[in-house]
Amino acid sequence: MAAQEDDSGLTRALLLGGGAVPLRRYDDGSSWRDWVRIASTDALADAGVEAHDIDAVIVASESDFFSLQVAPGSVIVDDIGLVPCPVMRVESGGASGAAALRTGFMQIAARQARTVLVIGFEQTASRLSSDEVRMIYGLSFDADLEGMAGATAVNLYALSIQEHMQQFGTTAEQLAQVSVKNHANAGHNPWAHRPMALTIEQVLASPMVSTPYHLLDCSTISDAAAAVVLSDPQYVPASSRPRVCIAGSGCASDYVRLGDRSARYRFTAKVQSSQAAYAMAGITDPASEIDVAEIYDAFSGAEIQGVEALGLCAEGRGGVACGDGEFAADGRLPVNLSGGLIGQGGAPGATGVLQALTIQRLLTGRYWPEAQPARDLRVGLADAHGGICAVSITHVLRRLD
């Protein structure tokens, strides 16, 4: 079951295909178990494999509070007919789906499996109230010192971007431009929860949540499930479709509390995780070698901080670059063509999985027609983090011709 190497000697896992349910608030009586069955069935069909081809299942969900199911992995393999397949559940806050993708990649690289089904889900929108969800998110930071004291995600992200604004002159208008772009991109994505045609003025006129973040700067709480099939290149069904591999994977952590960091505005874990992924993938100049990216935009400013940390522009230029349209659909490097968490929606267990599926389809020309760039896309980036980038996971995907 040795993993094949490409010409540069890099071990790779192929992403064969995937499936998802649209990101929504589901008030129709369905639950995460229904969505997982749909996403998994669609993923197997899209990848061209059968259930008996799966050697392992990796499941991601951020919190049992959302699903009200402890140990969902065994329930899932039972529901989708994969008993006695080995199953593992992983969690890493907002990066839970990315952690599942990385775990599947590592199982193939370590020759523990030939074909892995990676599933991410979250029932965040329809099971609990928005206030309850925000409270649980607050416990994903330092629960004793911050969460129980009433600190919320938006408060802590706001503190981080405030320092960025003070350091580099980033403006509220530049933050708003990210929201305008991502909501507009979502308009071309049938899976998106919050497609909207907005102006900068409308974003700035929306209610203030935590300075400088207005309501329309914030990501959307969504229900969702997504699944992808990873495979050792030696065990791939015959297909005329261009193949996509995970060429690099990186992970790093940072101090949980902002006050313990030397630069609160910098996502240092993202810098380090991306550097590890780039080194594995043989990327030396990400700003010129990456063709398209899905970046974790929990808030508009997080995308600005993200493009800098990922090396897609110089530190301090993120606001200017976003404001100038460098990361727009027709810009030099499209970011969040799906709409990101702001436009497509945020479901932590599903996000990292769905990012990888989005990039795979973009690289093979199979994304939603109105969102598919006319240019040739060969290398894509999927980025997710948990906390205020207390843990970051980065994947580089490459089309193989």
At 103, the pLDDT band (50, 70, 90 cuts) reads very high
Has residue 316 been placed in a domain? no
The answer to whether position 169 is within a domain reads no
pLDDT per residue as tens digits for the range 145-191:
887 888 889 999 999 999 999 999 999 999 999 999 999 999 999 99
Q: What is the pLDDT of residues 324-344, one digit of tens each?
A: 999 999 999 999 999 999 999
pLDDT at 149: 82
CATH of the domain at 115: 3.40.47.10
By residue count, the chain amounts to 401
Is 50 exceeded by the pLDDT of residue 111?
A: yes
The pLDDT of residue 238: 65
Q: What is the pLDDT of residues 40-67, one digit of tens each?
A: 999 999 999 999 999 999 999 999 999 9
**What is the extent of the structural domain holding 113?**
13-128+221-231
Residue 237, pLDDT > 70, answer no
Confidence band of 137 (pLDDT split at 50, 70, 90): confident
Exposed, middle or buried by CB within 10 Å (0-12, 13-18, 19+), for 288?
A: exposed
Q: Is residue 156 part of a domain?
A: no
Query: Which pLDDT score, from 0 to 100, does residue 241 have?
Result: 76
370 DSSP 8-state letter: G
Please, is 240 exposed, middle or buried when counting C-beta atoms within 10 Å of its C-beta (0-12, 13-18, 19+)? exposed
Q: Crossing angle of helices 172-186/300-309, nearest 10°?
A: 100
In a domain, residue 319? The reply is no
Q: What per-residue confidence (pLDDT) applies to 3?
A: 38
- pLDDT tens column, 79-98: 999 999 999 999 999 999 99
- pLDDT score, position 141: 85
Domain assignment present for residue 114? The answer is yes
Answer yes or no: is 190 within a domain: no
Find how far residue 231's CA is from the centre of its chain.
20
Phi, psi (degrees; rounded to nearest 5) at 137: -60, -40
Q: What is the pLDDT of residues 258-312, one digit of tens each?
A: 999 999 999 999 999 999 999 999 999 999 999 999 999 999 999 999 999 999 9
Q: Choose among 267, 281, 292, 305: nearest CA to 105.
A: 281
Residue 128, pLDDT > 90, answer no
Query: How far apart, in whole angstroms, are the C-alpha atoms of residue 271 and residue 139?
Result: 25
Any domain includes 69:
yes
HSE, CB side, 13 Å, CA atoms: give it for residue 363: 32
Residue 401 has a pLDDT of 79
Residue 32 lies in a domain: yes
Query: Is the CB of residue 274 less than 8 Å from the CB of residue 361?
Result: no
Per-residue pLDDT of 344-399, as tens digits, reads 999 999 999 999 999 999 999 999 999 999 999 999 999 999 999 999 999 999 99
Is the confidence at residue 2, as pLDDT, over 60? no
Residue 170 three-state SS: coil
Give the pLDDT band of residue 7 (cuts 50, 70, 90). Answer: very low
At residue 5, does pLDDT exceed 60?
no
Say whether pLDDT at 13 is over 70. yes
Q: Helices 130-138 and 153-168: crossing angle, nearest 10°?
A: 70
Q: What is the mean pLDDT of residues 12-33?
A: 96
- How many folded domains does the chain comprise? 1
pLDDT digits (tens, 9 = 90+) for 23-45: 999 999 999 999 999 999 999 99
pLDDT the model gives residue 245: 96
